[in-house]
């Protein structure tokens, strides 16, 4: 049986991991799949990439690193992704994964001009999202969790914009048939979001933001889980049609 490759490009804080698990745990849980259906590829530690024919889908996790640092493991991952896009393997890049996918396909990543975007924000799908397999049927405004200081400044050529927020015009895009980048964190819950705000309290205040107000606005939302489970369904349906 083919497995879903979870490309691990970072880890959460030890203080959070000990209680809640790590990025890949949250993603697998949100997708509603068994751990045995996933293959964790820790590229930071030098794990080799799987053969494309061996996997049914790809998820790229978030990270505390920056795409613009161009670390060797990151650039190797970026070089591996275009062939997967070309081969129509379903891909979901989350936060760092979103930025890395954009970088790999010719977009530009850099510091968000507005600074850090943390907490729970309103996501606005574009009209193009109405017929998108991942976003179709979602409301015109939905709450999602965000935690980033860098963004996709320019989308890759031929990318289709699917969603934006007040601080980030490129919250989601589609490349080809089934390669999605999403800047927000569908795997986060409000507790995780608050932990990140508390951890970066000083940095947020230095940018003129109010951490307490951001915490107050943190709220649970069903949309992240629905998006992850829908992505898992897309993978299953494509497998069944082969």
- The active-site residue out of 37, 44, 95, 218 is 95
Terminal Cα-to-Cα distance of the chain (whole angstroms)? 13
Q: How far apart are CA 187 and CA 25, in angstroms?
A: 9
Where are the alpha helices (H) located in the chain, listed in sequence order? 14-20, 23-31, 72-86, 96-104, 190-199, 201-206, 211-217, 223-241
To the query of whether residue 218 is one of the catalytic residues in this protein, the response is no
Residue position matching structure tokens 């497998």:
239
| Residue 176 contacts residue 88 (beta carbons within 8 Å) | yes
* Residue 56 parent element (H or E): strand 55-60
To the query of whether residue 95 is one of the catalytic residues in this protein, the response is yes
Would you say how long the chain is, in residues?
242
The set of residues, in sequence order, having a beta carbon less than 8 Å from that of 130 and lying 6+ positions away, is 136
CA 185, 190, 191, 193 torsion-angle sign: positive
Q: How far apart are CA 218 and CA 154, in angstroms?
A: 28
- The active-site residue out of 24, 37, 117, 187 is 187
Which tokens in the block code for residue 89? Answer: 């393997």
CA 231, 234, 240, 242 torsion-angle sign: negative
To the query of whether residue 187 is one of the catalytic residues in this protein, the response is yes
Active site residues: 95, 185, 187
């Amino acid at each position: 049986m083919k497995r879903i490759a979870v490309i691990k490009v970072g880890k959460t804080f030890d203080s959070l991991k000990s209680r809640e698990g790590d990025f890949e745990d949250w993603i697998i849980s949100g997708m509603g799949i068994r751990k045995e259906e996933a293959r964790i590829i820790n590229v930071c530690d030098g794990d080799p990439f799987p053969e494309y024919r061996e996997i049914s889908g790809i998820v790229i996790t978030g990270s505390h690193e920056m795409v613009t640092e161009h670390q060797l493991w990151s650039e190797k991952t970026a070089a591996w992704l275009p062939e997967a896009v070309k081969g129509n393997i379903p891909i979901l890049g989350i936060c760092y994964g979103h930025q890395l996918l954009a970088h790999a396909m010719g977009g530009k990543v850099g510091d968000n001009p507005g600074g850090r975007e943390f907490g729970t924000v309103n996501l606005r799908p574009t009209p193009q999202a109405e017929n998108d397999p991942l976003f179709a049927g979602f409301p015109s405004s939905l709450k999602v969790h965000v935690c980033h200081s860098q963004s996709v400044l320019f989308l890759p050529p031929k990318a289709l914009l699917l969603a934006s927020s007040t601080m980030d015009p490129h919250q989601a895009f589609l490349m080809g048939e089934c390669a999605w980048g999403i800047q927000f964190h569908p795997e986060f819950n409000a507790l995780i979001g608050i932990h990140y705000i508390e951890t970066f309290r000083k940095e947020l205040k230095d940018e003129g933001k109010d951490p307490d107000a951001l915490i107050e606005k943190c709220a649970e939302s069903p949309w992240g889980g629905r998006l992850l489970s829908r992505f898992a369904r897309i993978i299953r349906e494509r497998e069944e049609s082969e």
